[in-house]
């Protein structure tokens, strides 16, 4: 395979403004007791762009003390005040969208246009929870045998530990922070060590919007495991929300069980995307490209296995491969780039090995398959057809720009194969038959089903999975309840 040219040169004013955006972040508001630092690198150039503090466990515990104290006062504020502050934060985030998008692209690599999309998506969670903060949070019921009235209410659960991933550094932060603030909780946030800068910038903006200085504590560190186990052993942590791998999620769930802490776990996926013979071909191709390449495929809801019915398969593969061949690979700040670098060299090595293994099992390489030489962590948009079920790529969460296509004959076979995974996060169905769309969607083991479209996520939707893909929901009204505890008052009444 010929490795195509990639866009490495970036117009210098844009590059300079991205560097200026990164340089404008205050790396450490509260100070680290140890003076240790770590390096954050731009995945497109491998250049060090910032050196935030490498906080210790003791720093984390001090941060917890501050967040917990501030949270107790914040919980006594009115819902209207919390809502107003979040509305103000939304306005400031949008006002700073250029700066935030450049920081996202610099530290995470996604193309600038996608980074703008993430800024809007992330800010929408803040606006959504500004609105949800005002919704009634209780109800009133009669004892069925009389003699009392039961009033239920929802109280803030207490201080939350929020552990965010590197792939959507802004959206995953706001999807956790905004509902916590909306209901009156403080939070300790541990951003991914690969992409801590966006979270620091967002936290600064929250403070400017009126969020109390200590309420949201961002703890940058390379010692994630030590920090989270120490924090979760502390009785002040009442909630943990994690987005990341199922392996780490299971460890956190074990710790949460030990200390009886409420959890939300957004874990791994292996999303099937089913294209039936009766699908609209153009819509299916476009939807599959989006489901595969959004965020460079570095998303837990990315289409991992593309299953196409035999009658439409050849036309689909041709159209899809043509569309994928138009992708422009390069530095996310570069002109016209639609596929940025992947996050690190480990990912590049994994992709090469997945492609080799699939081809060795009999898959046909239609496009890409290689990593360009030179600085930066790049991998071509890749299409594999007739991928055997036994190949590693069909069993693993790819998390990159490789489309693994295989074919099926019947609806029953498609469902059986789609569900033959321990995971159950997102799935996608393309068909013009409305009965089939709903029947298949009902029978897929998944928390989220995209029907005739390649994007499922929405602030109004309860994002989350079944089976090994996690517990709890984020976004929507359900995401708010994750930060609340129900209590009731049983009020004796005089006999009538
Ligand atoms: C994720 O990949 O972790 C989240 C993607 C989304 O919110 O759409």
Domain around 261: 13-267+470-485
Both 292 and 388 in a single domain? yes
Between the CA of 45 and the centroid of ligand 1 the distance, in Å, is: 25
Question: Do residues 338 and 344 touch, judged by C-beta distance below 8 A?
Answer: no
What does DSSP say about strands 303-309 and 271-275: parallel, antiparallel, or unpaired? parallel
- Distance from residue 298's CA to the centre of ligand 1 (Å): 9
Whether ligand 1 lies within 6 angstroms of the CB of 301 is answered as: yes
pTM of the predicted model over 0.95: yes
Q: Which of 185, 300, 397, 482 is catalytic?
A: 300
| Whether residue 243 is found in the same domain as residue 283 | no
Query: Which tens digit of pLDDT belongs to each residue from 144-160?
Result: 999 999 999 999 999 99
Neighbours of 17 (CB within 10 A): 15
Long-range (24+ apart) CB contacts under 8 A made by 385-390 are 385/317, 386/362, 387/305, 387/358, 387/361, 387/363, 388/358, 388/361, 388/362, 388/363, 389/417, 390/361
Ranges in the chain, pLDDT < 50:
1
In a domain, 40, yes or no: yes
Q: Is 316 found in the same domain as 387?
A: yes
Q: Quick check: is 477 in a domain?
A: yes
Contact 227, 190 (CB under 8 A): yes
The answer to whether the CB of 168 is under 6 A from ligand 1 is yes
- Among 342, 349, 430, CA closest to 381: 342
Ligand 1 atom at shortest distance from the alpha carbon of 243: 3
Do 275 and 413 lie in one domain? The reply is: yes
Give the pLDDT confidence of 314-329 residue by residue, as tens digits: 999 999 999 999 999 9
Output 128-132 pairs: Cβ under 8 A, ≥24 positions apart. Answer: 128/178, 128/459, 128/460, 128/475, 128/476, 129/86, 129/178, 129/179, 129/181, 129/182, 129/480, 130/83, 130/84, 130/86, 130/87, 130/89, 130/90, 130/178, 130/182, 131/83, 132/179, 132/182, 132/477, 132/480
The answer to whether residue 6 sits within a structural domain is no
In angstroms, the first-to-last Cα distance of the chain is: 85
Ligand 1 pocket, 457 CB below 6 A? yes
| Ligand 1 pocket residue status of 243, Cβ below 6 Å | yes
Instruction: For residues 353 and 419, state if they share a domain.
Output: yes
185 is catalytic: no
Determine which one of 107, 114, 266, 397 is catalytic. Answer: 266
**204 given a catalytic annotation:** no
- Is residue 31 situated within a structural domain? yes
Total structural domains within the chain:
2
CA 296 to ligand 1 centroid distance, Å: 12
Question: Ligand 1 centroid vs 157 CA: distance in angstroms?
Answer: 25
Q: Which atom of ligand 1 is nearest to the CA of 455?
A: 8
Closest ligand 1 atom to 456 CA: 8
Please tell me whether residues 262 and 280 are part of one structural domain.
no
Let me know if residue 53 belongs to a domain. Answer: yes
Is residue 410, in this structure, part of any structural domain at all?
yes
Per-residue model confidence (pLDDT) at position 1: 47
Nearest-CA residue for atom 6 of ligand 1: 457
Residue whose entry in the numeric block shows the structure tokens 């030489």? 373
Q: How far is the CA of 301 from the centre of ligand 1 (A)?
A: 6
Atom of ligand 1 nearest to the CA of 171: 7
- pLDDT in the model for residue 4: 63
Q: Count the Cβ atoms, other than its own, within 10 Å of residue 449.
A: 18
**One domain for residues 31 and 178:** yes
Do residues 254 and 314 share a domain?
no
CATH number at residue 353: 3.40.309.10
Please check whether residues 333 and 420 belong to one and the same domain.
Answer: yes
50 within a domain of the structure (yes/no): yes
Residue to mutate (ligand 1; options 104, 171, 427; most atoms within 8 A of CB): 171
Q: How far is the CA of 317 from the centre of ligand 1 (A)?
A: 26
The answer to whether position 7 is within a domain reads no
State the CATH number of the domain containing residue 63.
3.40.605.10
Q: Is the CB of 425 under 6 A from ligand 1?
A: no
Shortest-distance Cα residue to atom 8 of ligand 1? 457
Is residue 300 in contact with ligand 1, taking CB distance under 6 Å? yes
* Shared-domain flag, residues 116 and 240: yes
Say what angle helices 171-183 and 79-95 make with each other, to 10 degrees.
Answer: 160
Whether 181 and 275 share a structural domain: no
- Atom of ligand 1 minimally distant from the CA of 302: 2
Centre of ligand 1 to C-alpha 62, Å, is 30
From residue 280, how far is each of 57, 429, 491 by CA, in Å? 54, 11, 59
CB contact at 8 A, 460 and 128: yes
Tell me if 421 CB under 6 Å of ligand 1.
no
Same-domain status, 333 and 279: yes
């Amino acid at each position: 395979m010929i490795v195509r040219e990639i866009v490495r040169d970036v117009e210098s004013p844009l590059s300079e403004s991205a560097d200026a955006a990164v340089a404008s972040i205050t790396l450490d508001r509260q100070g680290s007791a140890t003076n240790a630092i770590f390096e954050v690198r731009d995945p497109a150039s491998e250049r060090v762009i910032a050196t935030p503090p490498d906080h210790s466990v003791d720093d984390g515990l001090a941060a917890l003390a501050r967040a917990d104290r501030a949270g107790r006062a914040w919980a006594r504020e009115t819902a209207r005040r919390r809502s107003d502050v979040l509305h103000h934060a939304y306005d400031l985030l949008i006002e700073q969208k250029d700066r935030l998008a450049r920081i996202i692209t610099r530290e995470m690599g996604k193309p600038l246009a996608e980074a703008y999309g993430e800024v809007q998506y992330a800010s929408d969670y803040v606006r959504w929870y500004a609105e949800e903060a005002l919704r009634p949070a209780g109800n009133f019921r009669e004892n069925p045998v009389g003699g009392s009235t039961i009033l239920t209410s929802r109280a803030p659960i207490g201080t939350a530990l929020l552990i965010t991933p590197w792939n959507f550094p802004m959206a995953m932060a706001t999807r956790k922070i905004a509902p916590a603030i909306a209901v009156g909780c403080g939070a300790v946030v541990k951003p991914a060590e690969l992409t801590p800068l966006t979270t620091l910038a967002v936290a600064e903006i929250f403070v400017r919007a009126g969020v109390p200085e200590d309420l949201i504590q961002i703890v940058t560190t390379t010692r994630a495991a030590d920090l989270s186990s120490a924090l979760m052993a502390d009785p002040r942590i009442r909630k943990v929300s994690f987005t990341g791998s199922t392996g780490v999620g299971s460890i956190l769930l074990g710790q949460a069980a030990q200390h009886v802490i409420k959890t939300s776990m957004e874990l791994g996926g292996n999303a099937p995307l089913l294209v039936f013979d009766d699908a609209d071909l153009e819509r299916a191709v476009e939807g599959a490209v989006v489901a595969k390449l959004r965020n460079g495929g570095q998303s837990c809801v990315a289409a991992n296995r593309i299953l196409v019915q035999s009658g439409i398969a050849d036309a689909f593969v041709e159209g899809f491969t043509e569309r994928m061949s138009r992708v422009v690979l390069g530095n996310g700040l570069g002109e016209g780039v639609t596929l940025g670098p992947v996050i690190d060299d480990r990912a590049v090595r994994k992709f090469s090995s997945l492609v080799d293994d699939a081809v060795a099992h009999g898959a046909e390489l239609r496009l890409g398959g290689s990593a360009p030489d030179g600085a930066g962590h790049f991998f071509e948009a890749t299409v594999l057809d007739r991928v055997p079920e036994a190949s590693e790529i069909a069993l693993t969460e790819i998390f990159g720009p490789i489309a693994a296509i295989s074919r099926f004959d019947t609806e029953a076979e498609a469902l059986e194969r789609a569900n033959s995974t321990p995971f159950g996060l997102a799935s996608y169905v393309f068909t013009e038959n409305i009965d089939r769309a709903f029947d298949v969607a009902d029978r897929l083991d998944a928390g989220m089903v995209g029907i005739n479209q390649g994007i499922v996520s929405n602030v109004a939707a309860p994002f989350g999975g079944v089976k090994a893909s996690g517990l709890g929901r984020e976004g929507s009204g359900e995401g708010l309840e994750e930060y609340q505890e129900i209590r009731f008052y049983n009020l004796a009444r005089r006999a009538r």
